[in-house]
Amino acid sequence: MAHLVGSRNLIAQINAERVAQGFRANDLGEAYAAWWLNSWLGSRGRTDDPPPRQIAAVRAQAARAIAALPQVAGADDATTPQMTEAYLVQTARISAHLEQARREPGSLRRLAAVV
């Protein structure tokens, strides 16, 4: 996380990492899906990578869920990017903790409680 925060453009860096994982950049549904996956893994103390089929299913479900929200449908041009960025930052924070937990399995229980 320190590496990301120290970068000149935090959101661009996070987006680049998400794109490398197969997600679309600057998309609220994709950011929500990434957050949802990482939150689910973290809350269960898991550091494994879900299979591509499971990721695709969560992406599709997240896109439908986000599109159905009246707050999203009625959002102005500034609100959607702000919501996207909030999910991206939270996803990056959880990812950083999951990476740390891979090296320090004892921290998984704490991570699960926090997430």
Do 101 and 111 contact (CB within 8 A), yes or no? yes
Do 87 and 32 contact (CB within 8 A), yes or no? yes
pLDDT at 58: 94
Which residue in this structure is represented by tokens 């929200």?
69
- The reported pTM is 0.82
Q: Which of 50, 42, 55 is nearest to 98 (CA)?
A: 42
pLDDT at 72: 85
Give me the amino acid identity at 70: P
pLDDT along the chain (115 residues), means of 10: 59 78 84 93 90 92 92 86 90 89 86 88
pLDDT at 27: 87
pLDDT at 5: 53
- Per-domain boundaries in the chain: 2-114
Cα(64)–Cα(48) distance, integer angstroms: 25
